[in-house]
Amino acid sequence: MTMGSLESSARRGTLFILIAVLFWGGSASLAKFLFTTRFDTLIVVQSRSSLSFLLLAIYFLLNDRSVFRIERKDIGALILAGVIGIAVTNFSYYYTVREATVATAILIQYTAPVLVMAYAVVVSKEEVLNGIKVIALVLSLLGCYLAVSGGDWAAIQLRGWSLVSGIASSLSFAFMLLMSKRLLRKYSVWTMLVYAFGFSTLFWLFINPPWQIADKAYSAGDWGILFMFAVVSILIPHSLFASGLKLLDASTVGIVTTMEPVVAIVIAYFALGESLGQMQILGGIAVVAAVVLLQWMESRKWIRAGRLRNAG
């Protein structure tokens, strides 16, 4: 690939992540609404991955069965991507949303970029510690905190099991980023997603089998709601997320995803009439600045590489 095409790929990757974040940010409040009506956390989380798997599996069975080809040695990694990366991440996040607040769940989960950067630099040594990226990480975390709490630590409400689920959501989200990045070096976005969603579906069938779901007596309308929520909250954004992750470093993706709380509060302001304080605006600016800084870093990297190539 040419330097120009590599830089273009980095920009497309960032765009994919930002669009995914737009869907995730909008679905957090919708999930809170579903929990307060007639749906429990388990069925919402289970139906997200299961219905998404059915849609992808049927489509590729009819159109491109090569998507299902994998090497036997990678089954374990794909199981972990589905069970921990999809099932545990989703359940722990939405359990925290239900038991605490949307703001708390988002803030705790988005400490994951720190774990991702530490692992990628210190353990796997896939990335080199970069001063600009560290500054972007600090800006994004500070901005995320201000955006969701307005600078008031009392707004972060962790109590009971939500403390455990909040920590689990951060650890499992970091795991999802790292494991997905590893798999995407070898497989297409669709192969990774089909198997991750598939193994997540199998996991949930053991936890909440079909006969227990049937006892809930959900109507056709209820399933329609769950189907639409699955499409907008996981199928579309995870497809975009994986596409972006294939083009960017895992730590960069982690930092860009901290745009989610900014998106969530902006949507809540315009759609629900919720307040938007000065500290939240400042937090949003900090997160946007972190993303812009990353883009500037990428541009400088390709410009520098191009000069070295021309000089050679």
Interval 24-80: pLDDT, tens? 877 776 776 777 777 887 888 899 899 999 999 999 999 999 999 999 999 999 999
Contact indicator for 255, 294 with CB cutoff of 8 Å:
yes
State the average pLDDT over residues 198-214.
Answer: 93
At a CB cut-off of 8 Å and minimum separation 6, what does 226 contact?
39, 43, 44, 47, 51, 218
Tell me, yes or no, if the pTM score tops 0.75. yes
Residues 6+ apart with CB under 8 A from 278: none
Residue 244 has pLDDT above 70, yes or no: yes
**pLDDT band (50, 70, 90) for residue 155:** low
Give me the pLDDT at residue 240, please: 95
Domain boundaries, position 259: 3-311
- The 10s digit of each residue's pLDDT in 129-145 is 788 888 888 898 888 88
Give the list of residues 6+ apart from residue 237 with CB closer than 8 angstroms, or none: 19, 20, 21, 22, 23, 24, 27
Q: Is the alpha carbon torsion for 224, 229, 232, 237 positive or negative?
A: negative
Q: Report CA torsion sign: 207, 210, 212, 213.
A: positive
d(CA 145, CA 124): 28
Mean pLDDT of 224-237: 92
Q: What is the pLDDT of residue 5?
A: 59
Tokens of 110: 């988005």
pLDDT the model gives residue 125: 84
- pLDDT tens-place string over residues 77-122: 999 999 999 999 988 887 887 777 666 777 788 788 888 888 888 8
Mean pLDDT of the chain: 84
Q: How far is CA 269 from CA 25, 153, 275, in A?
A: 12, 21, 6
The answer to whether 150 and 279 have CB atoms below 8 angstroms apart is yes
For residue 195, count CB atoms less than 10 angstroms from its CB and return exposed for 0-12, middle for 13-18, buried for 19 or more.
buried
Number of domains in the chain: 1
